[in-house]
Structure 1
Amino acid sequence: MIMDREILLGITGMQWEMMDDGEQKAEDAEAVEMLTSADYFFKNGKHYFVYDETSGSGRKIGKSKIKITGDRIVEIMKAGEMRGGLFFEKDKRTLTCYETPYGQLHFGVWTTGIDVDVKEDEILAEIRYRMEMEDKPMADCCVKIHACSKGEKSAQMVRELMEHQKQDLIKAE
């Protein structure tokens, strides 16, 4: 692994809300994109990405960490105004709690798929999961993570990849 410590991190997420009949409405899909600088570490066979979370206005609201273990486990941990973590393990259901300024939010996560591709100077990961509240499906979700060493073309490459990922997520529904 030759990836630098200072990297660019792109995260694209898509969420399809579930209707009462269990169907999804494509027009209600919500997309979230983020491109940020991050620190990368590889320790004990695990990949770590640490980055600052910011609000829509650019104000720092906390630190986040992503940990990838092999090709079956991804953890996303947040600290700051919103504290909590998501634990994804292929074909497993986990329960999680987020601390928000408005109180606690409890929900379940059923991980339906994880794909991880580690290359010399970039890492790609895709996590597919279903969010549940009170044992009822609320949304099907997909998160794509792209981390790459900083370089002349990396920022453009990440932007292009994120646009392609967003289009792929929309088509996948």
Structure 2
Amino acid sequence: MTKDVLLSISGLHYDVAGVTEEDENEPIEVITPAAYYFKNGKHYVIYDEVVEGMPGTIKNKIRIAEDGKLEIMKSGLANTHMVFEKGKINMTEYETPYGELLVGIHTKEMTVKSEEKIIDVHVNYELDVNGEMVADCNIEMNIKALDR
């Protein structure tokens, strides 16, 4: 895979109580150029995220291990280290400009499909905040080599 990639991440959150408006269940999608490298059996993707209405950015690093572990590390306007492992619950602090949250991630399903020029990741997880279940979530990630 080339160093320059195009990253597409879409996320969908289903409210646990089921009382949200239907249009609130629209997926959120980000498509951005990113840097890719492979080191010690792990795929790394690095990109900057702009937050609307706020000065500064969030630096993101995604680490995909071939043993089925996904990590998303954020620094800058938001700081966290989220870990996704099938069948496990991982807790992390999530610092935002508005305060800090204790986030629990219970990964129910995760698949990683890696080919020469493309990596597809699917994660289904339960999200709890400060000990309270708030949503069922899906993340779809597509990392595609940019041919020069």
* Fold-level similarity (TM above 0.5): yes
Question: Shift of residue 71 of structure 1?
Answer: 4.7
- Describe how 1:138-149 pairs up with structure 2 within 5 A: 138-149=134-145
Question: Shift of residue 60 of structure 1?
Answer: 4.5
Equivalent pairs, count: 147
Work out the percentage of aligned pairs sharing the same amino acid: 35
After superposition, the CA RMSD in angstroms is 2.0
Relative to structure 1, the CA distance from residue 119 to residue 128 in structure 2 (aligned partners, 3 Å threshold; closer, same or farther) is same
**Does the 8 Å CA contact 1:5/1:39 hold for their aligned counterparts?**
yes
TM-score scaled to structure 1, two decimals? 0.78
Q: List runs of 5+ in structure 1 lacking aligned partners.
A: 153-173
Would you say 1:51 and 2:47 are equivalent positions?
yes
**Does the 8 Å CA contact 2:101/2:129 hold for their aligned counterparts?**
no
1:12: which partner in 2? 10
Q: List runs of 5+ in structure 2 lacking aligned partners.
A: none
**Does the 8 Å CA contact 2:102/2:131 hold for their aligned counterparts?**
no
Higher strand fraction (1 or 2): 2
Relative to structure 1, the CA distance from residue 124 to residue 59 in structure 2 (aligned partners, 3 Å threshold; closer, same or farther) is farther
1:83 to 73, 79, 86: 79
Give runs of ≥4 in structure 1 deviating > 4 Å.
Answer: 23-26, 57-60
2:29: which partner in 1? 33
- Describe how 1:87-126 pairs up with structure 2 within 5 A: 87-126=83-122
